[in-house]
Amino acid sequence: MRKDSKSSKKLKDLSAENKRLKAELKAKNEEIKYLSYHDELTGLYNRKFVYEELERLKELGSFPISVIIVSLNKLKMINENHGHTQGDKYIKKAADLLQKNFKEGEILARIAGDELAVILKETDQEQADKIADKIINSFAQTNQDNNEEFPLSVSLGTSTMDAREAEV
């Protein structure tokens, strides 16, 4: 009888350990998936996600699709003269400000060291240009409101694809 109780306990322990390991594996897989589509510094989507999302939007026919590229000016100078820690703060500050300009669900990404992107589905060129102006004004207002050691400086470009261009 005692042997059965030891076996039963051992089986329960193994079952509990198995459940724990499964939960840990699931959490690690979710972390890997998150990291494969997000920039570690900013938490924004990354370049890989942007390419996949643009293809998905094309397939869905969510035209026009506009993209705004936000290039961070002065980042190289900040990195070289003040170190990458300051450069990272500059990038993070710009990403945070960009996020404040958009509602949840909008696609914001860091696509290169000094470049951020905004994907706007069902947004034409005129609307994209207005949104780009809003971004520029937001950065300018932030610089005016805050006496920053490194004022945020950005250059923007917009591009729009309609259904005809997607066929090419």
CATH superfamily for domain 46-166: Reverse transcriptase/Diguanylate cyclase domain (3.30.70.270)
Mean pLDDT of 57-62: 93
Among 4, 39, 114, 129, the active-site one is 114
Residue spans of the domains in the chain: they are 1-37, 46-166
Tens-place pLDDT, residues 62-78: 999 999 999 999 999 99
* CA gap 99, 105 in Å, rounded: 10
Strand partners, 71: 115, 155
Tokens 């409101």 belong to which residue? 145
Question: Is residue 129 among the annotated active site residues?
Answer: no
pTM of this structure: 0.85
* CA gap 38, 45 in Å, rounded: 4
Tens-place pLDDT, residues 11-48: 999 999 999 999 999 999 999 999 999 999 999 999 99
| Contact between residue 85 and residue 137 where contact means Cβ atoms under 8 Å apart | no
